[in-house]
Amino acid sequence: MYLNVLYFAHVRERVGRSEERLEVADGATVADAVTALVARYPALEELMSVVRVAVDGEFARPEDALHDGAELVLIPPVAGGAGTPPGEADTGTPAVDLTSEPLDEARHAALTAFVSDAAHGGVVTFVGVVRDHARGRSVVRLEYEAYGTMARRQLERLVSEVEAAVPGTRCAVHHRVGVLEIGDTAVIVAAGSAHRAEAFDACRMLIDRLKQDVPIWKREVGPDGAEWVSERP
């Protein structure tokens, strides 16, 4: 059977391509496919201790069986119940968005309105902005890349999970992709609740989980070259 394999960020640079079809035996597992890929691309081996695997847009375990035509993605480290279901509030603004459009003041105002409510006494927003340095080196721009279908699904899941973990909150997150210059906004996270403590907790939880679980990668470009954040195992 055949798998459709996609590569992103520094994994793509290691293998020298963005996608391919991989033939594996019927009944093969995720571990079998990974073994075949490492044999084909030895440069992947040093990354595998930190790479996760997704199948059809969901994180998968090594023992999971694969099916013909499955979409398999090696996910390198990313850059860094109750509640309102992800979707659109009365403002018409989606709770989750992954966009190449600027995250401007109008977007910030729309997200603030989205999480606001007559019963909400606390509204907290976090705005992530491109700075001119990182880890002791100068930065002239950032390049964000995403595994779009899975990233959106993960963002929607995180919003639902945070709203369930902090009852009474309403949350939203919009993330930029593409080339960003110094001073551009990369992400806006908003949370509203009856009390400020819960709003702060939900906002922090959402941005922290985003940096762990959503397949969005950041490439820092500076005078001395370019590097993917978390590129090294």
CATH class of 2-75: alpha beta
Q: Report how far residue 71's alpha carbon sits from residue 64's, in angstroms, rounded to the nearest whole number.
A: 13
Q: Report how far residue 75's alpha carbon sits from residue 105's, in angstroms, rounded to the nearest whole number.
A: 32
Q: Report how far residue 147's alpha carbon sits from residue 19's, in angstroms, rounded to the nearest whole number.
A: 12
Q: Report how far residue 202's alpha carbon sits from residue 232's, in angstroms, rounded to the nearest whole number.
A: 30
Flag whether pLDDT at 178 surpasses 50: yes
Q: What is the pLDDT of residue 85?
A: 45
What pTM was computed for the model? 0.83
pLDDT digit string, tens, across residues 133-161: 988 889 999 999 999 999 999 999 999 99
Among positive and negative, which fits the CA dihedral 152, 92, 194, 103?
positive
Q: What is the pLDDT of residue 10?
A: 87
Residue 195 in tokens: 């009390």
Q: What is the pLDDT of residue 93?
A: 84
Give the residue extent of every domain in the chain: 2-75, 96-228
Which CATH code is given to the segment(s) 96-228? 3.90.1170.40
Flag whether pLDDT at 87 surpasses 60: no
Q: What is the pLDDT of residue 136?
A: 84
SS3 per residue for the chain: CEEEEECCHHHHHHHCCCEEEEECCCCCEHHHHHHHHHHHCHHHHHHCCCCEEEECCEECCCCCECCCCCEEEEECCCCCCCCCCCCECCCCCECEEEECCCCCHHHHHHHHHHHCCCCCCEEEEEEEECCCEECCEECCEEEEEECHHHHHHHHHHHHHHHHHHCCCCEEEEEEECEEEECCCEEEEEEEEECCHHHHHHHHHHHHHHHHHHCCEEEEEEECCEEEECCCCC
